[in-house]
Structure 1
Amino acid sequence: MWPLVGVLVMMTSLLASFAHAQQPPLIDRKDFFGEIQISGAQISPDGKWLSFIQPYKGVRNIWIKKADEPFSAARPISADAQRPIRTYFWSRDSRFVLYAQDHAGDENFNIYAINPGAARDPATGLPPTRALTDMRKVRAEIYAVPKTKPDILYIGLNDRDPRYHDLYELRISTGVRTLIRRNTDQIAGWDFDNAGELRLAERTTAAGDTEILRMDGDGFTPIYSCSVLEECGVEGFDAANAHAYLLTNKGGLNLIELESLDPKTGAVAKIESDPENRVDLGGVETSEVDYRILFTSYEDARERRYFRDAAFGRQYAWLQSQLPGMDVDLGSRTADETLWIVAAHSDVEPGAVYLWNRPAGTLQLQYRLREELPRDALSSRQPVSFTSSDGLTIPGYLTLPKGLPAKDLPLIVLPHGGPWARDSYGYDPFAQFFANRGYAVLQPNFRGSTGYGKAFLNAGDGQWGRKMQDDLTWGVRALAAKGIVDPKRVGIFGGSYGGYATLAGVAFTPHVYAAAVAYVAPSNLITL
């Protein structure tokens, strides 16, 4: 991350070139916020099919094509006329496409299965869709899709008690459900090992603490816990299927690290923490062939990855070399992990989706998100940091309008929602929309944001409208002091917690903001 002073020095050196640059034309707002045409690409486990989400009769549905066919040959396999399908997945044997959908927005999700190879209805041209959990006022949860049991899902249903989900085995081909565990112990999550066997569970106690439990027949034994002010959770099992991977910042730890948890004894051993000692562990990517860790990731100003599998690291380095300047995310993969869906994105690239043949070393573009957006008209979004009222360093991102000098610009402060979330590097439609209209955009990751450690997160406790608000104000001051923004032309815009911060901004610091727009904003913390 660049300190703000460093960014300002760079900006000053570029003022002359900015002054002579041409401001991009105004981009229509629908190009930023209109419906995306194609998204959610997945490769089937056998590598024969590529599926994706695209509107069908005006509603987003699932489409499918052979992996080597053009997108023009794709056909829809679902036809929900009321609610867009947002996510889906393939069964392990490539026989079924599955998704969860609620009814008229009631948030009670049922699970549906489609066999793309089934005979299509002559009237609709679509294969039949089967409801595997056809219930009302019941919310289904999917816990595991075991590779060793391709016709099985492990799901939760709260039909017996709406507060808690009982654990079921669901056979995809028939829809037959078998009760595995009645949830009378307030279990919030169930953890299955590499063989598809139930090993652990997690629950929240009345005090808000998290407990990890070992399953012992019909009973259980607590083996690990962390307080309400700490984080701990299971992230799969190791290659030997003996120990669980544990993400935790318990006790004296500030940053979330990766540990090994012995289910038999509850003993833990450190595996890895951030080599730069800056941010929480962000993720662990494991092979689904042999369950080795491929790499760990840390989300700093930009994501950093550390490869534990040297061969995969070399292949990923080649992939990165083909997409310079991009952050490259791995998506779905075939069962043998030869074919992968990957997405490349940056601050000025909403996303380009490719099919990566790993052993062959080839990369084929499938589609681009928001193809209509002129990439060369978008503005750079750079990491910055500044000091708040009490000396705490606040990281964030600054977007400057392309083609304008970085001097006396109008500013939009854009606080994120949550507040237990964070802004990340990459394309941001709001930042680009405002920058295209001549505004600088500041997105501070104020105290209480996630990813920067326990101390930074807990520094936000009791600070809504107080020091969390200072973090925004001092960001404005830092930019104004350097002459980048005009302090008389500052607006604030946000939703959810960002909406609260917007209301608090004009209520508590009206001298800072000339305009404010809040959406889905809580305004009364007592009734929140």
Structure 2
Amino acid sequence: MRQIFSSRWGLVSLVVSLAGFNVPAFGEDPAVLPAHSYPSYDRAADIPAHVFARDSELERVHLSPDGKFLLMVTPENTRFRISVVPIDPNDKRQYYTTLLPKNQFMAALWGNDNRVLIVGQAWSYDRNWNMIAHRGINAAQHDGRSAESILKTDYKSSKTYTVDTILSTLSDDPNNILVTYSENGREWPDIFKLDIYTGVAEKVSDGYRYIDDWYPDGRGNVRFGMGWYKQKFYMVARTTASGAWHELPTDGVGDIERFAFMGYDPDNPAIARVRATKAGTDRDKIYAFDLATGALGEVIFEHPKYDAGWLISGRNYQMLAAYTNGERLEKAYFNPDFESKSRGLDKALPDMDNRIVQITPNGSHFMVFAQSARNAGGYYRYDTQTKDLDQFGLVNASLNPDYLSEVSAISYQARDGLAIPAYVTEPKEKTEGPMPLVVMPHGGPWVKDNFQYDYWAQFIASRGVMVLQPNFRGSDGFGRAFEQKGYGEWGGAMIDDLADGVSHLVKQGKVDPSRVCIMGGSYGGYAALMGAIRYGDMFKCALAVSPVTDLKEWYSTLKDRSGKDFGTRILGKTGRSVFKDHNPIHRAEELTIPLVILHGTDDYQVPIKHSQKMVAALEKKKHKPTFIELEDEGHNIVLAKSRTLLLRETEKMIGKYLKN
């Protein structure tokens, strides 16, 4: 599914402290990790905001195919440091490292055991002010002895698509990779085999109009592609490795925006695996998909309660497991050997959601990301032969999980009887009697909250305030009917669901109704504004980050770049009246409670003018909010300085409006 909003900064960036240590092999008893020495505080409330918001993190990490090196992308202010680090702590040699401006970096990966590939992009204008994109691939030896450009492409057309650039490395051909780019500025990308040492490119397939996502099978043969163009969805396929492309019908795959490619059948690559919601059904399932006819076949995996998540696959798309985000991360296994290893990891890392995020081509090593709602987590390398588990660092080495708060899954009933799933974070250091509360709606608005670490929620809880994170109607993961109940209700029933969650906790005696605020980012920022407008008697303050404030303008800007059902998500059956009834900027006079708005100056997803216009509308009505422009920040709040400002403003509001 395409995301118009990002989730509320839930994709946790990762920091690797390279003082790795080894955990004994799995046995009858869980392995005990050596204790990490965290800074100590008298209580959670003493931990400064910048510790929760710290910026020493790893953006991405990738194991070399032989499992001996890490390729790390580490933020350093406005640049990324891309570096090779040996797994062996006794290896003191110097390895490849480089710096690249963040706005030019696209990807870094291994081409083979000792060849690093970096994809970058920059923009310029010609004399007629046509935008020119310059995209290229640099290759370097892991020891830094050589580095050269192996691909450069320039094109002018804004319609030229080069989404992936690198489609696949080729495990049976370590000198070449598959790439896709537009030759001579043509509109739709062709497919090439590129030598990662010489830069020589050989075309292996012409592209196809409207197709910008291509999917090679386990042997490097591209057999399936899909794309969007002017709100219409297209699919093409071929049933043999080098046969002719044919268009597939799209009316047999159900809800097109829920359609996702999941791999191929290793025994018959003319059959793909896709996640889809079949017509007449409610939940996403993973199906066999016939590349000859475009028909959904047998169900490969379904979850009894939630939408199916994603597959974990080995070499040549061998199906190993399915992961689903339920109340916690849930795993279903298809391979007994993989199940044994995975359960061993869960035993060694108890009380954590352990996700295997990479498997080396020969299956010798796993990269594991372990996290829980009160533990920011860390990266581990598991050797499947020796059964050794190496920890290479923590996401936040300054924040002790022992100070943080437990998160529990609850469900409450909305006013129309709909069950609303939610998460509640209760302060570790509780006071007697009903507590203050912050309601924190997620982004998307369909990107559901999961049981994962949330630095903002944990910071609020550390200040003695409960946090409610509802998966209101419209959230994904709970079936098509639940999601569709949010269509046309962005500022209506979806906001009522938030208020009903407050009422539920008040009735239980857990929350003081006189001390409740609402805060959120992206759609959650919009919801904070609409909550303040519609429930000014319930919420004592509001904080909105990167909010849409004019639905009509935002809809007009994005409708041509989104799926055909995008308009339905906003308008529903109500129609264009939502542009008046559910528009914060048109109801500014109704917003009277204290308000803070933060917005990144470089937000291209929801431009800062949304917040600027909202502030102007409020000031016209004699209501002056606190407005903070976050310099150098985009839509997702990722810079430490921006997150620190957010948490400090949050703490000010808590102290002023939620404390006795």
Normalization by structure 1: what TM-score?
Answer: 0.86
Q: What are the within-5 Å matches in structure 2 for residues 106-185 of structure 1?
A: 110-117=135-142, 120=145, 127-130=146-149, 132-135=151-154, 140-142=162-164, 143-158=167-182, 164-183=188-207, 185=209
Among 503, 510, 515, the residue aligned to 1:484:
510
AA paired with 2:455?
P
CA distance in 2, matches of 1:487, 1:310: 51
| 1:258 to 2:286 alignment | yes
Q: Distance in 2 between matches of 1:353 and 1:475?
A: 35
CA distance in 2, matches of 1:134, 1:25: 52
* Contact 2:96–2:144 (8 Å) recurs in 1: no
Q: Look up the match of 1:282.
A: 309
Do residues 461 (structure 1) and 487 (structure 2) align?
yes
> In the alignment, which residue of structure 2 is the partner of 1:318?
344
- Is the contact between residue 389 and residue 467 of structure 1 (CA under 8 Å) also seen in structure 2? no
3-state SS, counterpart of residue 318 of structure 1: helix
Please give the alpha-carbon distance, in whole angstroms, between the structure 1 residues aligned to 2:222 and 2:153.
25
Which residue does 1:63 correspond to in 2? Answer: 83
SS at match of 1:433: helix
- Summarize the Cα distance change of 1:84–1:409 in structure 2 as closer, same or farther, 3 Å threshold: farther
Quick one: distance in 2 between partners of 1:239 and 1:199? 13
Amino acid at match of 1:130: S
Deviation at 1:451, TM superposition (A): 1.3
- C-alpha change, 1:72 and 1:439, in structure 2 (3 Å) is farther
Local SS of the residue matching 1:30: helix
1: CA distance, partners of 2:44 / 2:201: 58
- Distance in 1 separating the partners of 2:432 and 2:524: 26
Question: Is contact 1:341–1:353 with CA below 8 Å preserved after alignment?
Answer: yes
Secondary structure, in 3 states, of the residue corresponding to 1:526? helix
CA shift, 1:206, in A, is 5.7
- 1:103, CA displacement in angstroms? 3.1
C-alpha spacing 1:280/1:384, structure 2 compared with 1 (3 Å): same
Of 304-313 and 192-201, the range deviating more from structure 2: 192-201
Distance in structure 2 (CA, Å) of the matches to 1:78 and 1:197: 33
Are residues 1:97 and 2:116 paired?
yes
Amino acid at match of 2:219: A
1:129 CA displacement: 5.0
* Pair 1:248-2:248 in alignment: no
Match of 2:50 in 1: 30
Following the alignment from structure 2 to structure 1, what is the Cα–Cα distance between the partners of residues 144 and 332?
47
Q: 1:258, CA displacement in angstroms?
A: 1.4
Structure 1 residue 141, shift from structure 2 partner: 2.6
- Quote the Cα distance in structure 2 between the aligned partners of 1:70 and 1:299: 39
C-alpha change, 1:508 and 1:72, in structure 2 (3 Å) is farther
Give secondary structure in 1 for the equivalent of 2:67. coil
In structure 2, the CA distance between the partners of 1:228 and 1:332, relative to structure 1 (3 Å rule), is: closer
8 Å contact kept, 1:387–1:393: yes
Query: For 2:297, which of 269, 277, 281 is the aligned residue?
Result: 269
Partner of 2:360: 334
3-state SS in 1 of match to 2:529: helix
1:117–1:430: structure 2 CA closer, same or farther, 3 Å change rule?
closer
The residue number in structure 2 matching 1:502 is: 528
1:392 Cα shift? 1.1
Aligned to 1:419: 445
Aligned with 1:188 (options 191, 208, 212): 212
SS in 2 for 1:438: coil
Matched, 1:292 2:318: yes
Q: By how many angstroms is 1:165 displaced?
A: 3.7
Between structures 1 and 2, the one with greater helix share:
2
Contact residue 202 and residue 212 of structure 1 kept, 8 A = yes
1:423 CA drift (Å): 1.1
Looking at structure 2, the residues matched to 456 and 382 of structure 1 have their Cα atoms a distance apart, in angstroms, of: 21
**Equivalence for 2:223:** 199
Q: Report the Cα offset of residue 177 of structure 1.
A: 3.5
* Structure 1 residue 79 displacement after superposition: 1.9
Q: Please, which moves more after superposition, 237-246 or 292-301? A: 237-246
Partner of 1:234: 261
Helix, strand or coil at the partner of 2:99: coil
Change beyond 3 A, Cα 1:241–1:115:
farther
1:499 and 1:520 in contact (8 A); partners too: yes
CA deviation after TM superposition for structure 1 residue 324, in Å? 0.6
Structure 1: gaps (5+ residues): 1-21, 121-126
The C-alpha deviation readout for 1:353-377, integer Å capped at 9, x for no partner, is 1110112222111111110012211
Q: 1:104 to 1:198 in 2, by over 3 A?
A: closer
TM-superposed deviation, 1:332: 2.7
Amino acid at match of 2:199: G
1:108-146 deviation digits (Å, cap 9, x = unpaired): 5734333234654xxxxxx53536235366764323334
Alignment of 1:302-381 (within 5 A): 302-381=328-407
Structure with the larger RCO, 1 or 2 (CA within 8 Å, 6+ apart): 2
TM-aligned CA deviation for residue 172 of structure 1? 2.3
The one-letter amino acid of 1:356's match is: Y
8 Å CA contact 2:234–2:248 kept in 1: the answer is no
Which residues of 2 match residues 363-442 of structure 1 at below 5 A?
Answer: 363-405=389-431, 407-442=433-468
| Residues 71 and 83 in structure 2, CA contact (< 8 A), matched pair in contact too | yes
Any conservation in 1 of the 2:210–2:234 contact (CA below 8 Å)? no
Aligned residue pairs: how many? 498
Q: CA deviation at 1:501?
A: 0.7
Show the counterpart of 2:63: 43
| Alpha-carbon distance between aligned partners in 2 of 1:176 and 1:144, rounded to the nearest angstrom | 16
| Alpha-carbon distance between aligned partners in 2 of 1:63 and 1:483, rounded to the nearest angstrom | 53
| Residues 108, 489 of structure 1: alpha-carbon distance in 2 compared, 3 angstrom cutoff | farther
Contact 1:254 1:455 in 2 (8 A): yes
Aligned sequence identity (%) = 27
SS at the partner of 1:505? helix
**C-alpha distance in 1 between matches for 2:186 and 2:55:** 34
Contact 2:376 2:395 in 1 (8 A): yes
The alignment partner of 1:345 has SS state of strand
Structure 2 residue ranges without an equivalent (≥5): 1-41, 125-130, 555-660
Q: Give the secondary-structure state (helix, strand or coil) at the position aligned to 1:175.
A: coil
Quote the RMSD (CA, aligned, Å).
2.9
Matched, 1:52 2:72: yes
Alignment match, 1:13: none
Displacement of 1:234 in angstroms is: 2.5
Structure 2 Cα separation of the partners of residues 69 and 298 of structure 1: 35
- The letter for the 2-side match of 1:248 is A
Partner amino acid, structure 2, of 1:51: L
Measured in 1, the distance between the counterparts of 2:405 and 2:104 equals 31
Q: 1:308 to 1:109 in 2, by over 3 A?
A: farther
Map of 1:124 onto structure 2? none
Deviation, 1:336, is 1.1
CA contact (8 A) 2:176 2:195 kept: yes
Query: What amino acid sits opposite 2:409 in the alignment?
Result: P
Listed one character per residue, the Cα deviations across residues 436-461 of structure 1 (whole Å, up to 9, x for unaligned) are 11211111111111111111111111
Deviations 1:62-119 (A, max 9, x none): 222222126976655212256585752111x223222333338999573433323465
